[in-house]
Chain A
């Protein structure tokens, strides 16, 4: 089995696992709905600036709770079994792709919920979708790798937050800026530059993660 097929197979396995233990996914969806409703009932009148901030903050915390279990949910023995069957990089790639898609779906859900309750303030839909996709990818790459690190320690949930939050700040700062453009309350000419920087950050984090993962999984 080559690496590509392995990745696809693992991706499928992740999806099946998620579906079987659907409490995790439904927990995150419940979290998203509860937060959006709470924010809406507390603020009632949400301007575009606030909308932008709330959207990314909800997505950030949804990402943490969705990704924290990536490497923790399976026991050390089962992971060893996987590593003896497949290329470790295929495992990492499958988790990253899975988390990217999961986060993208979640962010569309958050967007839909917020739009339903407060109206849709997004003016440039294409740009916003692109930002959401690149953002989901960046958050997925960074958090997946950090969760691989923190899974080795005992209190991995706390460690994930401590290690992960500072690292994703550059991604979030760029996302907030692009989001502000897409919502139309900031006019900026250098928006392609921002998108390129976001892509560059994603690619650097991805390549470093791929380079370093071989040192990480062995135990």
Chain B
């Protein structure tokens, strides 16, 4: 580590990776999506005209290839009878809902699918709710004129997935989530150095532990801040006492206490030893706080309390191409900052120990 801090290649690498993350993360457009469908409910045996709002779409340029369906499942699909394009992001589609649905539920939900040659296919799940006047599964299966949904267009170019509610804020994944992961890496490293200090009793390990903890605290603060901004957009409030927000705040308080503890010892060796002990203890106390408790209680975060997980489906391969480099980039940058803090601490100690030759 001490040889590595004089080398520059990994610092340059970190900065380059972060530049890539910022450029890709901010400039790659979102996949075209559907933001609104009105009306959202109707009855059987009726004609309905749906007003569809698109996002990042080119309906007017792709007027000739526009196709719109409502879809119950892979078998029962209904194509629009008439499509009127109102603008690049607005289109009207008329449907004739038959008298019976091929479903034994009173209220059946339908997904809306739009396809054209520029934007490719876009889906909005649960776009339309249809209430049946009378339920008859057999009648529904005979009445239903099922249309084929074939030859869907593929969108060309690189895009990030479009998600309802999230919209453009999906880009925050590269900041909020990756800062958070980088923080865990840095705190783990700080704990490793605390253990090293207790084993070897060398002062430099204590400097490393303190420097890494400082940077970890900075990353945690930034993670909390980016999270709060994201929460304001998606949940409507900066702070809603979500269990994860709460436990993160407590985790940061534990590490603030580490610095309070450091300052309360005049003797350096004692300070180093006791703060190393506390750092290990705090890290162990952190694990139930961050990994166990949020799973017990309902949370607004994705993957908790019945919310869909933010993983397999949402983090698609394009996002992975930015997300994993972002974690590495933030970690490298944090190591750079920590190495600067470490060198400052070493120089300060050196100056302190030097006998004043003249005054």
Task: Give the distance in Å from the alpha carbon of A177 to the alpha carbon of B298 in the complex.
Answer: 12
Q: Which chain A residues border B8 with CB–CB below 8 Å?
A: none
Is A170 a contact of B261 with CB atoms below 8 Å? no
Q: Which of B247, B277, B284, B292 has a CB less than 8 Å from the CB of A205?
A: B284
Is A174 a contact of B293 with CB atoms below 8 Å? yes
Please tell me if B139 contacts chain A, counting CB pairs below 8 Å: no
Q: Which chain A residues border B155 with CB–CB below 8 Å?
A: none
Is B264 a contact of A167 with CB atoms below 8 Å? no
Is B250 a contact of A153 with CB atoms below 8 Å? no
Question: On chain B, which size bracket covers the interface?
Answer: 20 to 34
Please tell me if B170 contacts chain A, counting CB pairs below 8 Å: no
Is A166 a contact of B254 with CB atoms below 8 Å? yes
Is A159 a contact of B284 with CB atoms below 8 Å? no
Segment with Cβ contacts to A, from B216-224, B231-239, B268-276: B268-276
Is A166 a contact of B274 with CB atoms below 8 Å? no
Segment with Cβ contacts to B, from A59-67, A118-126, A196-204: A196-204
Is A149 a contact of B278 with CB atoms below 8 Å? yes
Task: Give the distance in Å from the alpha carbon of A150 to the alpha carbon of B277 in the complex.
Answer: 12
Please tell me if A154 contacts chain B, counting CB pairs below 8 Å: yes
Task: Give the distance in Å from the alpha carbon of A117 to the alpha carbon of B8 in the complex.
Answer: 70
Q: Which chain B residues border A166 with CB–CB below 8 Å?
A: 250-251, 253-254, 257, 285
Is B265 a contact of A167 with CB atoms below 8 Å? no
Task: Give the distance in Å from the alpha carbon of A87 to the alpha carbon of B27 in the complex.
Answer: 64
Please tell me if A71 contacts chain B, counting CB pairs below 8 Å: no
Segment with Cβ contacts to B, from A25-33, A40-48, A76-84, A207-215: A207-215
Please tell me if A53 contacts chain B, counting CB pairs below 8 Å: no
Is B281 a contact of A162 with CB atoms below 8 Å? no
Q: How many A-B residue pairs lie within 8 Å, measured between CB atoms?
A: 84
- How many of A's residues come within 8 Å of B, CB to CB? 33
Q: Which chain B residues border A152 with CB–CB below 8 Å?
A: 265, 270, 274
Quote the shortest CB–CB distance from B249 to chain A (angstroms): 9
From known contacts A149-B277, A167-B282, A216-B274, infer whether A154 and B254 are also in contact, taking CB-CB under 8 Å.
no
Q: Which of A155, A193, A204 has a CB less than 8 Å from the CB of B287?
A: A204
Please tell me if A2 contacts chain B, counting CB pairs below 8 Å: no
Is A163 a contact of B293 with CB atoms below 8 Å? no
Please tell me if B123 contacts chain A, counting CB pairs below 8 Å: no
Please tell me if A22 contacts chain B, counting CB pairs below 8 Å: no
Is A208 a contact of B280 with CB atoms below 8 Å? yes
Please tell me if A98 contacts chain B, counting CB pairs below 8 Å: no
Please tell me if B49 contacts chain A, counting CB pairs below 8 Å: no
Q: Which chain A residues border B254 with CB–CB below 8 Å?
A: 166-167
Is A155 a contact of B278 with CB atoms below 8 Å? no
Q: Which of A155, A212, A219 has a CB less than 8 Å from the CB of B264?
A: A155
Sample of 13 A–B contacts (CB below 8 Å): A149-B281, A152-B265, A166-B257, A173-B293, A174-B293, A190-B296, A193-B296, A204-B284, A205-B284, A208-B280, A208-B281, A209-B281, A212-B277
10 smallest beta-carbon distances between A and B, as pairs: A153-B264, A166-B253, A166-B254, A170-B288, A167-B285, A208-B284, A169-B250, A212-B277, A163-B257, A162-B257
**Given A163-B278, A169-B250, A208-B281, 4 extra CB contacts under 8 A:** A162-B260, A166-B254, A205-B284, A209-B281
